[in-house]
Amino acid sequence: MTKIFAYAIRKDEEPYVTEWKNAHKDIDVDYTDQLLTPETAKLAKGADGVVTYQQLDYKADTIEALDKLGIHNWSLRNVGIDNIDLPKAKSLGFKLTNVPVYSPNAIAEHAVVQAARLLRQDKRMDEKIARHDFRWAPTIGREVRDQTVGVIGTGHIGQVFMKLMEAFGAKVIAYDIYRNPELEKQGYYVDTLDEIYAQSDVISLHVPDTPENVHMINDESIKKMKDGVVIVNVSRGPLVDTDAVIRGLDSGKIFGFVMDTYESEVGIFNNDFSNKELPDKRLADLIARPNVLVTPHTAFYTTHAVRNMVVKAFDNNLKLIKGETPDTPVDLDKEF
Ligand code: NAD
Ligand code: COI
């Protein structure tokens, strides 16, 4: 009997795994709540394929452990593949799939809500209310419709973000290295990132973590931005030089920072430190700031998205096992 083994299945995913299992009674589906590591790879023994999601770095040792078990069909329940040693996977003959689009709205909506909360100084107001200080001033808000919003990356998520921001009445401008013809016709694009920096009150990143994009937000780019800018990163931590943003917050240049993804998040986000000392002092400092909104990479985390992630990943894995073309293969022959 064909067998699929899934790693790191959370309680909120279980109903969707069961839904898929019930619709595929001829497939043996088993899972664990543990992450895939070189040590836990053996749990998948006898399986024809594995389903995981992005939380750890999947280095050569993990990939080799699956290879030793003869498992080469690997489906991710998420978009990002930046944590996988892809050349190693390719050299060992793996077939990989991801779920590039499971709910762009989940991520875009989170970015918009957080940006709007920062503009209204909600965290400061919440803190005042908690200590029963009900005075209005000086915690005055800025309306979204008065902002020029600069969107870097107009792919799946960036486009939804643009629509939602426009629904609030913001003026939206955009930059992408590959222009979307529809958006181009509608006149959203500026020619350079410098124009985004110079004109935007809110700047939101919706680009992948590629070597060229690492630390695209740095001291130099921040210097080019408007005073009082809000920076939103719900994409990938390495896009932002966190120390540079802290310098911008300290100088008052940056009004606020939305940080759903953090360059040192691996091993911290989606873990419980509630009774332990946080090992990352910089993160503790950011969390304590009234104008920084930290969320632990949860922009994606909605019921809608999670169902799609599970169902699409299992569908993909079964197609790989059957030797069929999966809906969303990762092209390992491409240079990453
Ligand atoms: P996408 O591939 O649909 O779009 C990315 C766009 O960025 C493309 O249009 C590409 O041309 C453009 N781009 C790449 N480099 C650029 C650069 N230097 N300047 C301008 N444009 C550039 O991707 P997506 O699905 O919209 O995802 C966007 C980001 O969101 C990714 O980083 C992804 O990993 C992240 N993401 C985050 C979460 C979360 O929970 N926080 C969930 C899913 C995806
Ligand atoms: C992705 O799908 O790439 C994400 O960022 C969310 C994931 C880490 C669960």
Q: Where are the alpha helices (DSSP H) in 69-180?
A: 86-91, 104-119, 122-130, 156-167
Dump pLDDT digits (tens) for 251-293.
999 999 999 999 999 999 999 999 999 999 999 999 999 999 9
Pocket perturbation via mutation, ligand 1, pick of 54, 99, 157 by most ligand atoms within 8 A of CB: 157
For ligand 2, atom 8: residue with the closest CA: 54
Q: Is 44 helix (H, G, I), strand (E, B) or coil?
A: helix
Annotated catalytic residue: which of 265, 277, 307, 324? 265
Closest ligand 1 atom to residue 216 Cα is 18
Structure tokens at 78: 């998420």
Q: Which are the contacts of 169, defined by CB distance < 8 A and separation ≥ 6? A: 143, 144, 145
Phi then psi dihedrals of residue 282, to 5 deg: -65, -40
Q: What pLDDT is attached to residue 218?
A: 98
| Positions of the chain with pLDDT lower than 50, given as ranges | none
105, 80 contact by CB (below 8 A): no
* 3-class SS string, 54-95: CCCCECHHHHHHHHHCCCCEEEECCCCCCCECHHHHHHCCCE
Neighbours of 278 (CB within 10 A): 13
User: What's the pLDDT at 336?
Assistant: 61
Helices 242-251 and 281-288, axial angle in degrees (round to 10): 40
Q: Please tell me the predicted confidence (pLDDT) of residue 57.
A: 87
Which of 297, 307, 309 to mutate to test ligand 2, by most ligand atoms within 8 A of the CB atom? 297
Whole-number Å distance, alpha carbon 307 to ligand 1 midpoint, is 21
Pairing mode, strands 254-259 and 292-294? parallel
Ligand nearest to the CA of 101: 1
CA of 292 to the centre of ligand 2 (A): 21
CA distances from 17 to 4, 237, 323 (A): 11, 29, 22
Q: What is the dihedral of CA 58, 64, 66, 72, to 10 degrees?
A: 90
Q: In this structure, what is the dihedral angle of CA atoms 190, 193, 194, 198, given to the nearest 10 degrees?
A: 70
| Ligand 1 centroid – CA 158 distance (Å) | 7
Residues with CB under 6 A from ligand 2: 53-54, 78-80, 297, 300
**Residue 54: predicted pLDDT:** 78
- Beta carbon of 110 within 6 Å of any ligand 1 atom: no
pLDDT of 304-320, one tens digit each?
A: 999 999 999 999 999 99
- Protein residue with its CA nearest to atom 15 in ligand 1: 207
Kindly tell me the burial class for residue 301, based on how many C-beta atoms sit within 10 Å of its own C-beta (0-12, 13-18, 19 or more).
middle
* Catalytic status, residue 297: yes
pLDDT at 56: 81
Amino acid identity for residue 321 in this structure: I
Closest CA to 295 of 304, 303, 286: 286
pTM: 0.94
**Are 145 and 116 spatial neighbours (Cβ–Cβ below 8 Å)?**
no
Catalytic residue of the set 72, 142, 206, 236: 236
For residue 127, the CA-to-ligand 1 centroid distance in Å is: 33
CA of 211 relative to ligand 2 center, distance in Å? 18
